[in-house]
Amino acid sequence: MSIFFYAIFLWLYKTGIRIISPWNPKAKLWLDGRKNLLARISGVKVGKDDRVIWMHCASLGEFEQGRPVVERFKEQYPGHKLILTFFSPSGYEIQKDYEGADYVFYLPTDSKKNARFFINTIRPVLVLWIKYDYWFYYLDELKKRNIPTLLISAIFRPDQPFFKWYGKLHCYMLYCFTQLFVQTEESKKLLIGLGISSNVSLGGDTRFDRVMAIAGQFTPIPLVEYFCGDKKVIVAGSTWEEDEEELDHYANTHPEIKFIIAPHEIDEPHLRGIESLFHESVRFSALEKKMADGSWQMAENTASRRQLSAPNVLIIDNIGILSRLYNYATIAYVGGGFGDDGVHNVVEAAVYGKPVVFGPVIEKYFEAMELVDCGGGIVIDSALEAEAVFDRLFSNLEEYRFSCEASANYVRGKKGATEIIVQYVQENLLLTS
């Protein structure tokens, strides 16, 4: 791809967002969030002696990957400022009030003018680029100014544009990074094939450090605890419609098992669709209201409790508690594996030492494949197979315990990526020189 075609791509992308925004809530958030964005950024106060760390994340998942690193830096260098940017509304809208950052913005759309303005305004001494979301003008400007820019927890595959005949511009963007920390040995070999070798490190995946920290600081969710009681529980996280259609029959025919469904999207049409699939369901917000107004009392009245506890499916209609919900699972199910983009984050479920079940589209996600190889993950291809797996795990205690232990050991064995990055920054005096 040449600069000319890249410019066309940027124009088409922005035009497409504007066209679909009246019908697409995410596109509307993307546009609305960028109104008067440059004026808000111009209000950033950076003194001549301030040292600024800039972390850019595409979305929420990438923020969770970068979070352990910036939080370590904030501990070690409390006087440094942190500026956090997102490309996607699903990251910005949830973390716009993140207390660890001095400023949180959408990243202005990629252009030479915007890149120069943004970097001139915030004047970073260190840039952390999490996993992907490569933007030419920003990376080119950082390289021209010799600002240390680290790519964190990246993963590469042969089918990506970097390794194709038309990927010259993409390849150049990789050369803009001061250091590239990759997750896998294969990724490192692919970069070496491009002539990028001296500044590539096998750094692992910082998500493992993040989920370990979350599990170690677990705080209970009383409403969920009460809903689950002493029943067996299946927690299905980051689900799409395809996942929910694989699970509804089992939930509807096993009222003695509690289901917690935490969909990837919580727009009203999707929530209503889930309610139509799962016959005995209640939304988290509705249950909260019942608890608040006293219609659902944590009482000793067994008959009353039985009547009010009839739903066996709890639909999570908020964002931000999924990583804690997996703690309540007897079996975890992670969504996305029946869609084109593939399975979501299996690590945040595995950290609690539970069997993790997911659909077959996992080829882009080495952690899912490794979890299967070690026995902590189980791939299902259909609703019938899902039901057979659930029945087997519930009835075969030996297999269940083996899978639990395999999940926990897998995550514990992968921690340490944050320390590798922090050590590199310290050794190269990137925040102290």
Q: 188 and 226: one domain?
A: no
Task: State the pLDDT at residue 296.
Answer: 58
* CATH number assigned to the domain comprising residue 220: 3.40.50.2000
For residue 354, the SS3 value is coil
Q: 117 and 87: one domain?
A: yes
Q: 422 and 408: one domain?
A: no
Task: State the pLDDT at residue 25.
Answer: 87
Task: State the pLDDT at residue 290.
Answer: 84
Q: 181 and 233: one domain?
A: no
Q: Which residues pair with 106 in a beta bridge?
A: 86
Which residues, 6 or more positions from 171, have their beta carbon under 8 angstroms from its beta carbon? 162, 194
Distance CA 6, CA 172 (A): 13
Q: Is there a domain that residue 433 lies in?
A: no
Give the tokens for residue 411. Answer: 């995550």
Q: Is there a domain that residue 210 lies in?
A: no
Q: 200 and 318: one domain?
A: no
Q: 154 and 240: one domain?
A: no
Q: How far from the centroid of its chain's Cα atoms is residue 316's Cα? A: 17
Q: 271 and 176: one domain?
A: no
Q: 26 and 95: one domain?
A: yes
Q: 331 and 200: one domain?
A: no
Contact 346, 334 (CB under 8 A): yes
Q: Is 44 left (phi over 0), alpha (psi -120 to 50) or beta?
A: beta
Q: Is there a domain that residue 211 lies in?
A: no
Q: Is there a domain that residue 77 lies in?
A: yes
Distance CA 333, CA 350 (A): 10
Contact 167, 195 (CB under 8 A): no
**Regions in the chain scoring below 70 on pLDDT:** 294-309, 433
Contact 282, 313 (CB under 8 A): yes
Q: 10 and 130: one domain?
A: yes
Number of domains in the chain: 2
Provide DSSP, 370-409: HHHHHTSEEE--SHHHHHHHHHHHHH-HHHHHHHHHHHHH
Distance CA 6, CA 1 (A): 7
Distance CA 171, CA 150 (A): 16
Task: State the pLDDT at residue 402.
Answer: 98
Q: 221 and 299: one domain?
A: yes
Q: Is there a domain that residue 150 lies in?
A: yes
**Cα dihedral 101→106→109→110 (10° resolution):** 20
For residue 182, the SS3 value is strand
The backbone torsions φ and ψ at residue 96, rounded to the nearest 5 degrees and listed phi first, read -65, -20
Task: State the pLDDT at residue 274.
Answer: 97
Q: Is there a domain that residue 311 lies in?
A: yes
Q: 50 and 193: one domain?
A: yes
The backbone torsions φ and ψ at residue 67, rounded to the nearest 5 degrees and listed phi first, read -55, -45
Distance CA 165, CA 319 (A): 41
Each residue's pLDDT tens digit, 365-411: 999 999 999 999 999 999 999 999 999 999 999 999 999 999 999 99
Provide DSSP, 291-307: HHHTSS---S-HHHHHH
Q: Is there a domain that residue 187 lies in?
A: yes
Q: Calculate ∠ Cα 93-139-197, nearest 5°.
A: 120
Contact 333, 357 (CB under 8 A): yes
Give the tokens for residue 351. Answer: 């950290």
Q: Is there a domain that residue 209 lies in?
A: no
Closest CA to 276 of 307, 252, 254, 253: 252
Query: Could you tell me where the DSSP H helices lie in 217-277?
Result: 222-228, 241-253, 268-277
Distance CA 223, CA 229 (A): 10
Which residues, 6 or more positions from 399, have their beta carbon under 8 angstroms from its beta carbon? 392, 393
Torsion sign, CA atoms 377, 383, 389, 395? positive
* CATH number assigned to the domain comprising residue 26: 3.40.50.11720
Distance CA 221, CA 288 (A): 11
Each residue's pLDDT tens digit, 277-306: 999 999 999 998 888 776 655 443 444 444
Q: Which domain covers residue 56, as residue numbers?
A: 3-204+416-427
